[in-house]
Amino acid sequence: MDMLWNGWGDPAKAAPLPDSVTGLLRDLLGVKPRSTPALALEDIRLPGATAGPVALKALALAAGGEEHVRTDAESRIRHTRGKSTPDLLRLRAGDLSDVPQAVVLPASHDEVLAVLRACAAHGLAVVPFGGGTSVVGGLAPERRAFVALDLRRMNGLLDLDPVSRTAVLQPGLRAPEAEALLAAQGFTLGHFPQSFEWATIGGFAAARSSGQASAGYGRFDEMVLGLTLATPEGTIEAGRAPRSAAGPDLRQLILGSEGAFGVITSVTVRIRPLPEVRVYEGWRFASFEAGAAALRRLAQDGPRPTVLRLSDETETLIGLAQPDAIGAGLAQSDAGCQAITGYEGTAEDIARRREQAAAVLRAAGGTLLGAEPGERWAHGRYSAPYLRDALLDAGALAETLETAAFWSRIPDLYTAVRTALTDTLTQAGTPPLVMCHISHVYENGASLYFTVVSAQGEDAVAHWTRAKHAANDAVLAAGGTITHHHGVGTDHRDWYVREAGPLGIEALRAVKRRLDPEGLLNPGVLLPTD
């Protein structure tokens, strides 16, 4: 199944907003219902394609047949941009300025190389396309006719080594399919980001994804042991041992490269035995500061749960920590801050860690709420993007952004980003609701994930862009990184340039020039075009 063309996920899972939330949008934020109906797919008119029959024939030869090159309107529309709020707003308005010339579906590493050669010969840029879940402009290249390189035919489990506990996966394998294939042999990857139902293995590697169980399983880049990269100049094989002192680690150069250096065609990952038991529970803290201190104690001194997250006061009150129960906390005068802890493993191990972690959380001021909040979170943890679509349908602007910093900088970073978003949107006449949670913790720091809801203003895309730029400036000024797990894309590129510094960016440009001398791969994504 393909995702909804102008929204997130499975159309059958879309649901309207509860009346309590609709009233809040109207009364608190001044959100007005949409004045015009959304365009239907069949109403979209595409700009004329510039890829001629000779180029299309070359692509068909490279991909193994004409049936693997799609030029129909629906295929091209479904491969236009990603799933950020600006992406969807522009698509819903009929803006197809970033539409691919064709969608090409190779089935092997060699076919990917052949497609890259064909594109080089005919002056076409290439955008690798996995699940299409980018929310940072990672699928909208700059100023060039391009093809979408859809990797869905490369969706196999190539090898599983139970002794080393490794698996070799193809890049177009969606996360649920990967988990099912591994589970059949008693293993799990343990990577469960909010995009889990639709994102792919190649996308996880290309964007340095981080899953909701990262406290226990680690980030995706920590799971990767080997990679194969197809480039216009040939193939790179990186990683032949768990760790190595053989020079700089090329795996780290490929991870996070977002299709700008090449196309990832296989990923070797660390796997773990399937857990016997999974337990999730909720805790309450009086303040975000107190809850963050408790999370820091567990992250630094243990025992560390598999899942560890904390919602601030606003997110807890609204109920965003449990999307399936959105609005349930509005009647409470003081909801405090809700934390979720989750444990996966053997029954014996879980009992030990829960008992020890509970002692730490109670000593830090936490109150156990029991299993119900944790189970609600686990049941609804992939629902938030559907909620975003419902908010857009209702006429609201809803978007997310994330960052990370060392623990000592988290309080100032939290305040700086909230202030930047609130001030910018309020000055524009649309005071926002700004919510935040910590969802990824480390010994030395943590991530902050913000959700912003406001009225759309006269030009919703421009309206959000101003607020996003202000937040990006605030992130860097407060010592945060411009992205923790969403990636750079085009939305964060100019701030990534500032974060990496001139010499660092020139070094990466030198790599790109060697691997992609014609600048075919995702031009303008990750790095500025020359």
Q: What positions carry a catalytic annotation? A: 449
Provide the 3-class DSSP secondary structure of residue 505. helix
Encode burial over 386-401: b for 16+ CB neighbours within 10 A, e otherwise. bbbbbbbbbbbbbbbb
Please indicate if the annotation marks 264 as binding a ligand.
yes
Sign of CA dihedral 6, 11, 13, 15: positive
Please indicate if the annotation marks 260 as binding a ligand.
yes
Separation of alpha carbons 210 and 392, rounded Å: 26
Q: Are strands 277-285 and 445-455 parallel, antiparallel or unpaired?
A: unpaired
Please indicate if the annotation marks 165 as binding a ligand.
no
Please indicate if the annotation marks 123 as binding a ligand.
no
Separation of alpha carbons 84 and 400, rounded Å: 9
Provide the 3-class DSSP secondary structure of residue 148. strand
Write the DSSP symbol of residue 209: -
Please name the helix (run of DSSP H) or strand (run of DSSP E) that holds residue 26, with its range, or none.
helix 19-29
Please indicate if the annotation marks 133 as binding a ligand.
yes
Q: Is 241 exposed, middle or buried (0-12, 13-18, 19+ CB in 10 A)?
A: exposed
- 237 contacts 228 by C-beta, under 8 angstroms: yes
Separation of alpha carbons 127 and 139, rounded Å: 6
Separation of alpha carbons 528 and 283, rounded Å: 44
Please indicate if the annotation marks 216 as binding a ligand.
no
Task: Supply φ then ψ for residue 502, to 5 degrees.
Answer: -60, -45
Q: Is 235 exposed, middle or buried (0-12, 13-18, 19+ CB in 10 A)?
A: middle
- Tell me how crowded residue 360 is: count the other CB atoms within 10 A of its CB: 16
Please tell me the number of Cα atoms within 13 Å of 428 on its side-chain side: 23
**Alpha carbon of 142 to those of 81, 127, 452, 506, 509: distances in Å?**
12, 11, 27, 19, 16
Please indicate if the annotation marks 131 as binding a ligand.
yes
Find the distance separating the first CA and the last CA of the chain, reported in whole Å. Answer: 38
Please indicate if the annotation marks 261 as binding a ligand.
yes
| Site of tokens 């994930």 | 449
Q: Among the residues of 258-400, which ranges form H helices?
A: 288-301, 313-318, 347-363, 371-380, 384-393
Please indicate if the annotation marks 7 as binding a ligand.
no
Please indicate if the annotation marks 505 as binding a ligand.
no
Please name the helix (run of DSSP H) or strand (run of DSSP E) that holds residue 469, with its range, or none.
helix 460-477
Please indicate if the annotation marks 134 as binding a ligand.
yes
Please indicate if the annotation marks 365 as binding a ligand.
no
- Of residues 76, 81, 8, 11, the one with CA closest to residue 45: 76
Please indicate if the annotation marks 262 as binding a ligand.
yes
Q: Binding-site residues for FAD, please?
A: 128-134, 258-264
Q: Annotated binding site for substrate, which residues? A: 388
Q: Could you tell me which residues are annotated as the binding site?
A: 128-134, 258-264, 388
